[in-house]
Amino acid sequence: MSKKLKNLKFWIHTFGCQMNENDSERLVGLLRRAGAELSVSPESSDLVIINTCAVREKSEEKLYSLLGRMEALKKRKKLIIGVMGCVAQLHKSRLIEKKPSIDFIVGPDNYLDIPRILSESWPDKVISTRWSPHWHGFSPDDVSRKSPVSAYVTIMEGCNNFCSYCIVPFTRGQEKFRPLSRILEEVRYLASRGYKEIQLLGQNVNVYRDPEKGRGFIELLEAVNRVKGIEWIRFITSHPKNFSPAMAQVMKDSEHVCHQLHLPVQSGSSSILEAMNRGYTRDDYLDKIGFLRDLMPDISLSTDIIVGFPGETEEDYRQTADLLRQVRFTNIFSFCYSPRPLTAAAKKTDSVPFEVKGQRLMEIQRIQKDIQLEENTSMIGDVVKVLCLGRNKRDSRLYSGRNQGHQVVNFTSDSDVIKRFVDVRIVSCGPYL
Ligand code: 5AD
Ligand code: SF4
């Protein structure tokens, strides 16, 4: 155990996706193992780490605003400030030039270096952003997980697709895959600790290829499905270009794989999809939705939408709105297009005016809200199976969980049902059940 880390109090804030959450969980575990202590606030900490997201300009701005607060705190007390993740990788040393209060910068591939950086190098400024083509191993009990019920398991990282709007290939690097033997080791470990649900993570899970024996995503799902004790298996993110009928079939045939899929469409217009370099058309996407629903009529589908991509006409936008009405997703995540450095689309004129993007986004969200309210209302009176994840954060008299479709369900119970599956009768709902 490093003397310098013993009793060091640290606080960590995570922006961005589930993979960032999982990276932070691993870092917390690692720092704890080195003797440091997780603290409840930056004010009571010696070290603050910010895990960052670069996917939109707004995500990046959130870092600068939090950094502002941390800089003010650093004037009042001794504080080490570290920035990790995608913004760190994108800007490297430029970030320290812009914000000299930062002590170290580590990319998404280098955060396992943090304990060493802290014990050997500090107070020198350190920048560690070298990408490695190899999977960095870790032991499952080094992960300090937020939930005792549902766990993230990263299976691959990086992306080779170069969608024209997307910064991820430049921050997370090329695809690399975790060996299936290591994935199964972690899943079995989680089952032995009483976890009921796992969420397999990767920027494009469908292209998974086991580096040891060449097994693909289907074999991975089948193998994870055989692990005793894990009742619900989910995976995120799928790419419509790589999601095959055989994958839908294995979802249907595997007892524990939830009938739930996040399949980001981004736009309902084939010409915009081509400009985005997505590798499928509107009809290809709708065909996939068709075979998924034929196989699993109860499947819950969600998606991501970008409005205001360069060159998006009113007609292109209408096609996106129309696709939402046609598919009737359970949930969507929608964004205004934001030009990102290094991407192909950033070289195009950001032609859709700010106000038009905003109007389109509002309308998309209104259309979807109506759909969700209708769909959710139709569930009133049904009894649904819910995995109880804990108490409701705002009202501790309520329990909170999710159904198989990954919708939040709040409910009352006379006994403690945390970590258990319960049948819940739906008595009321909102658009965001
Ligand atoms: N502008 C707006 N939204 C973006 N996303 C990715 N890049 C951008 C961008 N430049 C969205 C996509 C992706 C989700 C994680 O973020 O919809 O699926
Ligand atoms: Fe954000 Fe993408 Fe990095 Fe996740 S991988 S933190 S979504 S930029």
Please give the average per-residue pLDDT across 61-67, as a whole number: 96
> Taking the CA of residue 66 as centre, how many other CA atoms within 13 Å lie in the half-sphere pointing to its CB?
23
Residue 328: partners with Cβ closer than 8 Å, 6 or more residues away: 371, 375
Q: Which stretch of 132-141, 188-197, 249-258, 315-324 has the lowest confidence by average pLDDT? A: 132-141
Dump pLDDT digits (tens) for 144-203.
999 999 999 999 999 999 999 999 999 999 999 999 999 999 999 999 999 999 999 999
Residue 392 CB-density burial (10 A; 0-12 exposed, 13-18 middle, 19+ buried): middle
Ligand closest in space to the Cα of 171: 2
Backbone angles phi, psi at 236, to 5 degrees: -155, 135
Does 266 contact ligand 1 (Cβ within 6 A)? yes
Q: Mean pLDDT for the chain?
A: 96
Ligand closest in space to the Cα of 364: 1
431 falls in which pLDDT band (50, 70, 90)? confident
Q: Which stretch of 133-142, 239-248, 324-333 has the lowest confidence by average pLDDT? A: 133-142
Span from the CA of 129 to the centroid of ligand 1 (angstroms)? 23
pLDDT of residue 433: 60
Report the side by side order of strands in the sheet with 197-201.
150-154, 197-201, 232-236
Span from the CA of 20 to the centroid of ligand 2 (angstroms)? 7
pTM, full prediction: 0.96
Q: Which stretch of 86-95, 112-121, 300-309 has the lowest confidence by average pLDDT? A: 112-121
Span from the CA of 177 to the centroid of ligand 2 (angstroms)? 17
Residue 254 backbone class (left: φ over 0; alpha: ψ -120 to 50; beta: rest): beta
Dump pLDDT digits (tens) for 212-240.
999 999 999 999 999 999 999 999 999 99
**Which protein residue has the closest C-alpha to ligand 1 atom 14?**
304
In 237-299, DSSP assigns E strands to 260-262
Distance, CA of 293 to CA of 300 (rounded, Å): 9
Span from the CA of 53 to the centroid of ligand 2 (angstroms)? 5
Does 337 contact ligand 1 (Cβ within 6 A)? yes
Query: What tokens does 170 get?
Result: 């430049």
119 falls in which pLDDT band (50, 70, 90)? confident
Nearest residue to 86 via CA among 348, 334, 341, 346: 341
Please give the average per-residue pLDDT across 352-371, as a whole number: 98
> Are the C-beta atoms of 276 and 318 separated by less than 8 Å?
no
Query: Does residue 1 surpass a pLDDT of 60?
Result: no
Please give the average per-residue pLDDT across 398-414, as a whole number: 96
Does 26 contact ligand 1 (Cβ within 6 A)? no
Query: Does residue 121 surpass a pLDDT of 80?
Result: no
Distance, CA of 130 to CA of 121 (rounded, Å): 17
Query: What tokens does 300 get?
Result: 């819950």
